Amino acid sequence: LARRRCAGSSSLAARTTMPPSAASGPGQTRKASDRAQEKGVRESNIVAAKSVADAVRTSLGPRGMDKMISSAGGDVVITNDGATILKQMEVAHPTAKMLVDLSKSQDVEAGDGTTTVTVIAGALLNQAEILLKKGIHPTVISESFLLAAKKSEEILQAMSIPVDLGDREQLIKAAATSLNSKVISNNSSLLAPLAVDALLSVIDPATATNVDLRDIATVKKLGGTIDDTELVNGLVFTQKVSHAAGGPTKVTGAKIGLIQFCLSAPKTDIEQNVTVSDYTQMDRILKEERKYILDMCKKVQKSGCNVLLIQKSILRDAVNDLSLHFLAKMKILVVKDIERDDVEFICKTCGCLPIANIDTFHPEKLGRAELVHEVSTGDGKIVRVTGVPNEGKTVTILCKASNNLVLDESERSLHDALC
């Protein structure tokens, strides 16, 4: 009986004893592989973000190097602005794209510091990688970063100096600091005071706490040098005055109208052709077109308008040779191809209202200016509008440079200085 019991217990032990691999089961093996995959994805994300930060790290600070970026179309950009560099990069990794978006949001929110935030993000991720290798859970690391961010904000608030918008010298120093790391740092003595004067001219320093940069327009014109950059209390158009039929190029006591309709023959709403085989009918069509355009031009003249700004049209020609001929005979200065994005700034500066239909072209919708004239520059001509009634609400900075690379960089640098 004792022998049977021993044999039974040994057979039970044999049945219940399993190899270690079988005891762990497929579920635990799957968990181990999931952890390994999570670790691999985490490392891949950190490597991608660090590579983006390393790409712009060398452009940081006054001793930073400029980057030459060539696009697929052959365009070349030379800059050390972090947002511009990252915008030109073709990034595919999702985490790297997040750093690009981080730089964009910094550019929108603060206007400067785009390289700094990218480099700081890369450095924080580098330290996070070290902590992960020590076995610290990612949630603990992220919560610690949030606590550190709150403490950093308190320290920065304590050591910051309030900006007095009435202290011009302090503002010039701040703008010069922003320009010292740019390609055009040698011209910071000119551009820093110009940016500060532009800022102070659109606000009341006694009451203002912030500045709307939409009130400061930056216009680029090729020709001359950076030293020729100037501040204009009014408007500057890079579009030329229409010289058809000997129209005027200078108007004093200007009454400015901004139209958003076309001074040309109407077209059908659908794509179709009209075939005219009779010469009398053809002659009648031409006479009707001439009469239609002449009536529109007469309504413009009747309102007292002597400077006409025509918004660019994408559907058909905003103005044709016949309407330009009639307007020139009526001594009306015409500037065409006004961009839609500039309409709000023009209206705020001149005090005019955009006119969408010829039937609503009334004198009360016209803007005013003392002088509108065309000026020759090194590379073409520009139109200057000065003596506007709303002087002090808006201002225009006319940027000049000898080539497009320096011109684009000077515009970006002025934007950073204004911010």
Q: Is 114 a catalytic residue?
A: yes
Q: Is 167 a catalytic residue?
A: no
Catalytic residue among 79, 95, 114, 349: 114
What interhelical angle do 94-109 and 20-57 show, nearest 10? 40
Q: Are 112 and 84 in contact (CB under 8 A)?
A: no
Catalytic residue among 84, 115, 218, 396: 115
Which DSSP letter does residue 369 get?
E
Q: Is 229 a catalytic residue?
A: no
Q: For residues 374-390, b (16+ Cβ closer than 10 Å) or e, as one string?
A: beeeeeebbbbbbebee
| Strands 367-377 and 76-79, sheet pairing | unpaired
Q: Is 317 a catalytic residue?
A: no
Q: For residues 169-187, b (16+ Cβ closer than 10 Å) or e, as one string?
A: eebbeebbebbebbbbeeb
The whole-angstrom separation of Cα 42 and Cα 138 is 10
Q: Are 361 and 259 in contact (CB under 8 A)?
A: yes
Catalytic residue among 79, 81, 118, 342: 81
Run of H or E residues at 26:
helix 20-57
The whole-angstrom separation of Cα 209 and Cα 9 is 88
Strand partners, 338: 311
Instruction: Return the active site residues.
Output: 81, 114-115, 416
